[in-house]
Amino acid sequence: MSDSPQLILSRRMPELPPIFLKQRRYWPVATLTLIALCVLVFILMTLVGGSENSDILLNFGASYGPFLKRGDYWRLVMPMFLHIGWFHLAVNMYALYLLGPIYERIYGYARFSLIYVGAGITGSWLSMAMSQNVAAGASGAIFGIAGAMLVTGRLYPEVVPWRWKRAFGRGMVLVIILNYAIGLSLHNLIDNWGHTGGLLGGILLALIIPPPGVYRRYGWTLSAIPRQAVVVPMAIVALSMFATASHYREAENVTRLVAEGRRYWSQNQDDRAVQTFQQAARQYPGDERPHEELAAVYLSRNQMADAIREYNTALRLSPGSPMAQLGLAVAYARDGQPDKARQLLTEIVGKNPQTADAQMALADLCGEQDLYPEAIQHYQEAIRLRPDLAEARNNLAWMLATADDKRYRNPAEALALAQQAVELSHWKEATFIDTLAEALYVNGKYEQAVETQKKALALDPGNKEMQAHMAKYRKAAGA
């Protein structure tokens, strides 16, 4: 007796999961909520200073290994809601909009949310464990969904509609490989560790969290996950955002106090500066910045023991901080402990600090902290090691022309270095020409400064800073 057409058809076509049979229209509420949160956070970041500002990123919870080590565990969650620029946001939200509704419809909003947030956390953790860079983006969690789709397609093919089979198999493998290829070619711009952590997290979670309504069971899977389980990822995200808001308020207050202290210091009111920095350190003991500022003041006063103490405190709060490491190295060198100084410098620039690039990096860091003697020394060493390094000559020229501490200004040498920099760069670097104009200005050659600045603006006409310099030069030339 032959089988009926209905029986033959049922053998060929696997039964659809219940969610596909109950309703024809499905709203992916978890996916839409995640997209809305990412957009909302991006708007807030834009309003307070911009999503490409590293300080804003850190204050909003971007992943950064040293801060995780000091106890900022909410940074495991927040990076999946942060994006660096509109393009970054648009690419990730488009990917989430493509994959999220498909997987959420099969898994339901509770299980989908558990996998997405869990994968985002593992991505952030691996990124911070393996890298010292500031990173953000939902791509780690999205990679997690991609990995979870592969697991589902392999273990539970009966829940995947025929039209989606490729997305849960070879098609997704190709997408993952392509994205990794792009990431490796742009390794300085893309957080490959975050992608890897998210992918592995998504695979692991999909192995232990089965889709609802499946008939086959594996010994390692969880037996029952109710819809109410959605409160777990919701609580994790809510608590992390609350911690971020609290941290943001504290960070802004520290920024205000640090700026106030720096203003006192620039006005030679060292005692008031120290008091202000100490107030910030007392009120916000988890922030390294007040200790770095205190150490810098003590260093300028040759109070080496106090400087070393404060720099060590800053490093305890922010392990690996290049500013604290550099300041501590300078303090050790001035205190007669050269071996400790060399060890710290090696940690900053690598195993061979005696290269032109390493010396210039050290000089730039010293300049940012107003450590003028050390900055000048390292710039000169970089030039000695590579005489054609125009950038080192330019940066040293700018420092000798504009140093806040007039003891380290040298207009004549600044002019000679700036002229050499523009000649080495064949007058094609606007910033170098701008430095030459500034050197001419501080040497009293105002009309020449105006003519030179015209060449800089011809290369970069929209530069506001150069326009302000031009106004200053024209005013002086007119006078």
Residues with catalytic function: 139, 195
8 A C-beta contact, residue 310 and residue 296: no
Which contiguous run of DSSP H or E holds residue 479? Answer: none
Residue 451, classed as helix, strand or coil, is helix
Q: How many CB atoms lie within 10 A of CB 454?
A: 13
SS3 per residue for 116-183: HHHHHHHHHHHHHHHCCCCECCCHHHHHHHHHHHHHHHHHCHHHCCHHHCHHHCHHHHHHHHHHHHHH
At position 345, the amino acid (one-letter code) is L
CA-CA distances (angstroms) from residue 129 to 72, 106, 138?
Answer: 13, 33, 18
Count of positions (residues) in the chain? 479
The Cα 431–Cα 394 span in angstroms is 9
| Radius of gyration, CA atoms only, the chain | 29
User: How far separated are the first and last CA of the chain, in Å rounded?
Assistant: 110
The Cα 316–Cα 328 span in angstroms is 12
**Interacting residues of 90 by C-beta distance below 8 A, sequence separation 6+:** none
Residue 63, classed as helix, strand or coil, is strand
At position 167, the amino acid (one-letter code) is A
The Cα 456–Cα 434 span in angstroms is 6
Dihedral sign of CA atoms 348, 333, 386, 457 in order: positive
